[in-house]
Structure 1
Amino acid sequence: MDFDLNNVRAALDEDRLSGLPLELILEILSRVDTKLAIQTCLLLFPRWKLFWTLLPSLKFSNSGIKTLADFSKFVTHVLSHRNHQVEVSSVNLCFHGEAAQGFVKEIANYAFSHNVHELIVYSTTRNECPPSLFKSQTLKHLTFRTSVYALCLTPKTPWDFPALTTLYLKDMSLCDDRRESLDLFSKCVNLQNLTLENITVEAKVLEIITPRLANLRLDNNRGYNINVIAHQLVNLTIIQCSIGDLNIPSGLSSFCYKGYHTPHWFKNWHFSVNKVTVSLRI
């Protein structure tokens, strides 16, 4: 078989990726960190130099950036030069070190003003979070994680997320005063999936009042009573939780419990469940 070296070189030099549909290119770039996406557009494919301004998904991480001041400057540059006509479908923010409220507020306000549907926040140190972070008319999925108890939130009013369907909270304190009750979710009228993992609450009662909640998972939460008012609750999972009292509706389909002791509120159950899994550790 004969090879035409010139044709081989031409094939290797051809920018085949640029021939892909723009929607597919943006999907590929959205899968990586925004900083890497910008570098790819500017350095590897000069013809893509404006493509990063059209990204619907933004992923910010200060890994590899020396200071949070530099990180904040980079994020501000991205937001100010982005095509503001393009809505933001998701924002993923991961940072280490102290961050001012203004920095977090700037990102949240931009995302909410562009009808963001998914917000993922991960921080490893104690940071003050602006109240505006917990109010959005379009947000559907919220994940908020910290390092172990690095963040304490003590809201005065319920979080205002009327479109929210999925909420995942991990490694934080939701209340640091001894109020009688804490209500966070009553304005999340479309919430269907709620996971609380390694959460502390110093209020006497955590109120979970959500009319459409179907799936509730409580994992390694200790020391407080939980009152659940969710008439459409279908699946309830409780793992390694030391809960004083648990009031739940009678329409459960599936219940899973894993712990070291049989909780006393088992005695108050007077209704049937289709599937029950109980695992007691000695």
Structure 2
Amino acid sequence: MVELKTETNKNQKTGREKEDERDMLSELPDDVLLHIMHFMNTKTAVGTSLLSKRWNNVWKCLPTLCFSRSDFKTLASYYQFVHHVFSHRATSVPLHRLYFEACDIIARQIFHLYTSLLHYVPHLRIFLYHQSTKKCNYSIPFIFSSPSLTSLTLILSNQNTCRMKLPQSLKLPALKTLNLTNVCFTARDSTDERAEPFSSCFALNSLVLVGCSLSDNAEVLIVSNSNLSRFIHVKYSEVSRYKIVLSTPNLTHFGIRSSEAYDVSSTRDLALLEEANIDITDRASRVIVLRLLKMLSYVKILTLSECVLKEILSLSYFEHSSGRRIIPLRFVRLQTLKGKNTEQIEVFMKYFQNSQKTEVEVINF
């Protein structure tokens, strides 16, 4: 009898134990649950609606949506999910951040159906790929006239098959950060050889261009923006050649990456330049390299690729064989020089002079 009573007590739960087993997570307020969902991917967050009635509608108020094709087994299930989320989301809650990837055909449908929702998203990241082998022109007009967009990343997977022409001028007054990959800039008109898309982005602070091109007869990309502090340009060898002209008096960080040197100039001194990285990997024209480095005369930290360093070192042999003296590159504020194979430091520093006569730190990496 004693043993039976003991066994019965084991099966009986105290009030404290029952309290511990309550679904205390579901009792939290919506804003706390939404904060927890912020750390989930969108597919998992939407899946919480299956937990109980309490969770049915919480996800509909998510301020951030991230749609990734890799989370789904098939394209059909992925696009069905995207439509489900957009069509059932609470329209009273502003969408703060969106990451979206899709083929161009489906993206057109999504953008057309939900333009009013997407037009006011402050932070937008879009990755587009083209499934057909036929070439196409693509446009997303609502993006480039958004009054509230502050951060935009737009990536086309391959410009050879899918071409996106941007408007002549981007009307994005609140935009601070812009990253563009494989897009095409348009000249002011059919007779003009210059494209100047960024002058109306008055708040723009950071600009990164990767594999971009110019349309029609355009040969010069003008980056004109008085607020811009960071500019990175990555050029693919197959992209048409064009010149870049900077009108960016407040630029503090500058970088280019390419297999060959190309013309970059500035309409005024870059007097606030803190750091520059010149990464040319294959062919470096001595004339273009020297012109580029003269443009960077106010830089404090300078990183040069091995190809650029070799071209500068070749000046010594040119000077010796031709008997002509090469005017050294003068830097007003240079503090640190980074590069590979800087062992021949005496020869190298012969062409790098700090006008303030302070010692320059050389870092070999």
For the criterion TM > 0.5, the same-fold answer is: yes
**Aligned AA (1:253):** E
Counterpart position of 1:256: 277
1:152 paired with 2:191, answer no
| 1:147-186 → structure 2 map (5 Å cutoff) | 147-149=157-159, 151-170=162-181, 172-175=182-185, 180-186=193-199
Within a 5 Å distance, the mapping from 1:185-196 to structure 2 comes to 185-196=198-209
Identity %, equivalent residues: 24
* 8 Å contact kept, 1:218–1:241: no
| One-letter amino acid matched to 2:232 | R
Secondary structure at the aligned position of 1:109 is classed as helix
Counterparts in 2 of 1:194-233, with a 5 A limit? 194-202=207-215, 203-221=218-236, 223-233=241-251
The code of the aligned residue for 2:122 comes to H
Distance across 2 between alignment mates of 1:97 and 1:3: 63
TM-superposed CA distance for 1:238, in Å, is 1.2
Give me the whole-angstrom Cα distance separating, in 1, the residues matched to 2:25 and 2:257: 47
Aligned with 2:183: secondary structure?
strand
Deviates more, 1:131-140 or 1:214-223: 214-223
C-alpha distance in 2 between matches for 1:241 and 1:187? 31
Normalised TM-score (structure 2): 0.66
Query: In structure 2, how many angstroms separate the alpha carbons of the residues matched to 1:60 and 1:141?
Result: 17
Is 1:142 paired with 2:155?
Answer: no
Structure 2 partner of 1:14: 22
Secondary structure at 2:263's aligned position in 1? strand
Go from structure 1 to structure 2 and tell me whether the alpha carbon gap of 1:157 and 1:200 turns closer, same or farther (over 3 Å shift): closer
The change in CA–CA distance for 1:242 and 1:200 in structure 2 (over 3 A counts) is farther
Distance in 1 (CA, whole Å) between partners of 2:29 and 2:47 is 20
Selected match of 1:277 from 303, 306, 317: 303
Contact persistence 1:226–1:243 (CA under 8 A): no
Q: Judge conservation of contact 2:111–2:118 (CA < 8 Å) in 1.
A: no
Q: 1:108-123 maps to which residues of 2 (within 5 A)?
A: 108-112=115-119, 115-123=120-128
Query: 1: distance between equivalents of 2:103 and 2:17?
Result: 45
Report the CA distance between 1:72 and its aligned residue: 5.1
Gaps of 5+ in 1: none
Q: 1:36 aligns with which of 36, 40, 44?
A: 44
The change in CA–CA distance for 1:244 and 1:234 in structure 2 (over 3 A counts) is same
Q: How many residues align?
A: 276
1:267 aligned to 2:274? Answer: no
Contact 1:225–1:243, Cα closer than 8 Å, also in 2: no
Q: Label 1:19 to 1:176 Cα distance change in 2 as closer, same or farther (>3 A).
A: same
Shift of residue 110 of structure 1? 1.1
2:62 is aligned to: 55
Q: Note closer, same or farther for the CA distance 1:38–1:235 as it changes in structure 2 (3 Å cut).
A: same
Q: Is the 8 A contact 1:192 1:212 kept in 2?
A: yes
Which has the higher Rg, Structure 1 or Structure 2? Answer: 2
What is the CA distance between 1:97 and its match in structure 2? 6.3
Q: Distance in 2 between matches of 1:12 and 1:145?
A: 49
Cα distance in 2 for partners of 1:80, 1:24 equals: 24
Q: Which residue of structure 2 lines up, in the alignment, with residue 124 of structure 1? A: 129
Q: Which runs of 5+ in 2 are unaligned?
A: 1-8, 311-365
Q: Distance in 2 between matches of 1:176 and 1:231?
A: 24
CA RMSD of aligned residues (A): 3.1
CA distance 1:34–1:208, change in 2 (3 Å): same
Three-state SS of the structure 2 residue aligned to 1:159 is coil
- 8 Å Cα contact 2:184/2:212 also seen in 1: yes
Between 131-140 and 75-84, the greater mean CA deviation after superposition? 75-84
Matches within 5 A, 1:69-148: 74-96=81-103, 98-99=105-106, 101-112=108-119, 115-125=120-130, 128-148=138-158
**1:134-164 deviations in whole A, cap 9, x for unaligned?**
2211111111113232532223421111101
Following the alignment from structure 1 to structure 2, what is the Cα–Cα distance between the partners of residues 159 and 21? 41
Q: Equivalent residue of 1:184, what SS?
A: coil
Which deviates further from its counterpart, 188-197 or 237-246? 237-246
Distance 1:240 1:278 in 2: 12
Task: Give the whole-Å Cα distance in 1 for the aligned partners of 2:18 and 2:301.
Answer: 63
1:13-50 per-residue CA deviation (whole Å, 9 max, x = no partner) reads 4323224443232123234343332221x212431111
TM-score by length of 1: 0.83
In the aligned structure 2, how far is the partner of 1:160 from the partner of 1:106?
22
